Structure formats: C-alpha cells, structure tokens
Amino acid sequence: METALTRLVGVRHPIVQTGMGWVAGPRLVSAAANAGALGVLASATMTVDRLREAVREVRSRTDAPFGVNLRADAGDAGDRVRVIIDEGVRVASFALAPSRELIAELKAAGVVVIPSVGARRHAEKVAAWGADAVLVQGGEGGGHTGEVATTVLLPQVVDAVDVPVVAAGGFFDGRGLVAALAYGAAGVAMGTRFLLTSDSTVPDAVKARYLAATVRDVTVTRAVDGLPHRMLRTDFVDSLERTGRAGALVRALRHASGLRRLSGLTWRRMVRDGLAMRHGKELSWSQVLLAANTPMLLRSAMVDGRTDLGVMASGQVAGVIDDLPSCAELVERIVREAEGTLRSLGAQEPLRAGHRAAAAGARVRPAR
C-alpha cells in the first residue's frame, strides 16, 4: 500500500505507531518498525542520555526506519534534536508545533519532520515553516486532545496544506485506513491500538482494564492538568475531579517530587516546563505543577500497574478493541482488511492513482 507517507519515510505500510509516554519504548517501536509501520519512540519521559540509549537499542533490534517524538516546548528540546541528528534517526515528530528554527535544523540534517496538530491553522503554520508532513489528531484520540472530530478536521487539513497528512484519532483497523485514504490522507497513526498489543510493555492488568472498557468508559477531563485529556474513566479520575484546589496542590507537589527524583530535573526546570505548557492557557499554579509532572500519573499506571494511583490515556477506540495481537499480526491484518475493503469497493486502483496525483501536488480543492 504505497502512499506519499511510505515514500517519504521509507516504510512498507502507511501506518504510524504514535509516541506514547512510558509505552512507546524500544520493544514496541522496533516491533512496529519490523512489521512495516513507522514506529515512534516517546522521548518526553526520558532523560537525554536515556534517549540516546533507547535510540541505539531500537537500532539494534531493527534495520527499518523509525522516529522519535519530543516536546517542542521542553527546555532541552535542542539537546534532544541533537541526539536525533547524531544517531541518524529518520523521523522527528512533535507533540506541539516546533519552531521554524528547529524544523530548519532537522531538515538540514536530512531528518523528516512531522509535527502533530489539532487545528487547520496549526497545520498551515508548520507546513509554511517547512514541515515535511503533518499528523492531524481529531477529538477521538487519546491524551491531550481537541473538540473537533477526525471526520471534520481531517478534510479541513487535507484541503489546506500541500504536504502529506497522517490521520489520527479513531483508527484501529483496515476500514479506517481506507476511510482516511478516501479523505485524502497518506496514512493513519494509532496509539491505543498499538498499546493493546503483545509487544507493548504495559502491565497485563492495565491492558485488561482497557479491553474491558466500553466507549462510554473513555472520557475527557481537565482534572489532571487543566487541559482536555482523554483517558479511561476510573475511581482515581473521579477523585481528581472532586479534589479542591488545596488537595490538588498537595498532590501536584508529591508527584512533582517523584518526577524530579526519577528524571533528575531541577525544580526550576520543572516549573519552567510547566509554564511552557501554561502559555496561552488559564491554568492555576497547581495545574502548572501538574502539567509538568503528568508523566508521573501516567507512569503509575503504564509502568507500575497502579490503576488506582495513575491515569490511563486512551482513545475512544479502546471501547471497540478486544484482543492483543503482536504488532506483526496487527499490521498484517490491517493491510489485509484495507485491501479487501478496496476490492469490495472496486476502487483500489483509483485510490492509488489519486494518491500518486496528490504526491505530485495535483490536489483538487473543493469550491468555497
């Protein structure tokens, strides 16, 4: 299934495994890459030295291209970019729009830059700055998310930019891949679906909570860090929503202390990162601290298995996933389903021809 995305990054299939903190480590990323997808290593929860080690570990497990995801607003983003360049990583993805300068530095080194966006204007901005592609996440996606559904946001972005667009938010099978291609995307990105594989290091008890969830058990809350955050509804999330400001501040300080010990960050650095996330948003000081140490709440569940003390970021698709295939089995199944769907529609060749035209810049725009 060749598209503009597969040609751009050199993978076999137009599927991306997203960079999920504490989840997208070397084992999952290399398994996704070996399956023919683009595996993306999550670096925000790693020190710079650990990031370098993780990149080398992925490379020891696969010869396929892979990427690294990082926060553009992190104080050490420049150091992480240097690791990506030094280690010859194929793709740099960003959870927030990177600066024009970071994009230029990466592109000058031959790295493919794919920022994640949640609005058409953000896609237009990073494309104008030189991004090679954009990953657009609709409101169905897990973690920090927006309010616009993928089916509305995706065509907006496809019509607005002339770079490949990767669709995220609500994808888990081959039918979704075909739908994304029909909208004009060059591929799909999935987080929750790859989290729920046998190659994921998430504890089995946590995976069981995801598999037991219905679509109604996935909620959006601001209680964690003041920003819309899609996750599984649990007793712990309910308690966060009931906690007053004083309780939230105590909890934020406790988790911040844990993150500082684990990461080696200074208090000044943590506050600075929290302030970066606060920029342009109405957050209290307890929320600033929570924004800086939300990784600890995720770690409690995703690493320690403490669903009673942590949060489980999740896309709505958790409610329709009921198995734990390997990455190889998952990717093969998605491609097989997609090809079967295209055959049933009698549209396999027209779709591929359309993507060849789009890659050449011959995009047809609707009248406005």
**Tens-place pLDDT, residues 255-276:** 656 555 555 556 666 666 665 6
Range with the poorest average pLDDT among 4-8, 93-97, 137-141, 350-354: 350-354
Tell me, rounded to whole angstroms, the distance of Cα 44 from its chain centroid.
Answer: 12
Distance CA 76, CA 266 (A): 12
Is residue 72 within 8 Å of 99, Cβ to Cβ? yes
Q: Please report which confidence band the pLDDT of residue 113 belongs to, taking 50, 70 and 90 as the band edges.
A: very high
- The pLDDT tens digits for 26-76 are 999 999 999 999 999 999 989 999 999 999 999 999 999 999 999 998 889
Report pTM: 0.87
Q: Please report which confidence band the pLDDT of residue 243 belongs to, taking 50, 70 and 90 as the band edges.
A: confident
DSSP category for residue 273: H
The DSSP secondary structure of 214-230, one letter per residue, reads -GGGEEEESTTTSS-EE
Question: Which sequence spans correspond to the domains of the chain?
Answer: 4-201+321-359, 214-313
What local confidence, expressed as pLDDT, does residue 131 receive?
98
Distance CA 85, CA 74 (A): 17
Average pLDDT value for residue range 226-243: 88
Is residue 134 within 8 Å of 161, Cβ to Cβ? yes
Helix (H) / strand (E) containing 15? strand 15-17
Residue (of 54, 19, 40, 30) closest to 91 by Cα position:
40
Residue range 4-201+321-359, CATH number: 3.20.20.70
Burial of 307-345, coded b for 16+ CB within 10 Å and e otherwise, reads: beebbbbbbbbbbebeebbebbebbeebbebbeebbeee
- The pLDDT tens digits for 300-310 are 899 999 998 88
